[in-house]
């Protein structure tokens, strides 16, 4: 099951929504951009439910959280975007994310990304994003 996330243009509140409607905080009408979508899927780990929810940042702005084996869809305008997923920063620990640059264009309206924990040894808090295809995404 994937979640849709939008940011209010007036107050900047990021919220999970089902469609066009008013912002729950300032009651400004929030409308989906008709341009493109970035879909991020947090892959299941071979170590089980190892870790917390990941934060999703697009161009340095927090756009929500994605849990274990979940997907999140974020409508974005056409253009160049820097996407990063990292674990939530509890107690200012050393949680790191490696970003990925992507372009949303009329020919490439949906960008699919997979988020995973880097496992060079046994434990690490670094996450990576890698491009994916529609077949690798969970059903919506």
Q: Break the chain into its structural domains and give their ranges.
A: 2-136
3 state DSSP class of 116: strand
Predicted local confidence at residue 101, as pLDDT: 93
Question: What span, in angstroms and rounded, lies between the C-alpha atoms of 127 and 117?
Answer: 4
Identify the bridge partners of residue 128 per DSSP, sorted by sequence position. 116
**Cβ count within 10 A of residue 112:** 20
Instruction: Tell me if 74 sits within 8 A of 38, measured CB to CB.
Output: yes
**Cβ count within 10 A of residue 118:** 13
- pLDDT digit string (tens) for 26-80? 988 887 777 888 989 888 765 555 556 788 889 988 888 888 888 888 888 899 9
CATH topology of domain 2-136: Immunoglobulin-like (2.60.40)
């Amino acid at each position: 099951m994937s979640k849709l996330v939008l940011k209010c243009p007036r107050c900047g509140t990021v919220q999970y929504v089902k469609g066009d409607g008013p912002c729950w905080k300032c009651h400004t009408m929030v409308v989906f951009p008709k341009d493109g979508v970035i879909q991020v899927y947090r892959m299941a780990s071979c170590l089980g439910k190892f870790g917390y929810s990941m934060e999703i940042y697009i161009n340095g702005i927090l756009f929500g959280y994605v849990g274990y084996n979940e997907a999140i869809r974020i409508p974005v305008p056409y253009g160049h975007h820097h996407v990063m997923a990292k674990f939530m920063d509890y107690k200012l620990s050393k949680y790191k994310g490696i970003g990925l640059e992507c372009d949303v264009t009329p020919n490439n309206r949906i960008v699919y990304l997979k988020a995973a924990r880097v496992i060079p040894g046994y434990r690490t808090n670094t996450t990576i994003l890698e491009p994916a295809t529609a077949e690798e995404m969970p059903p919506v």
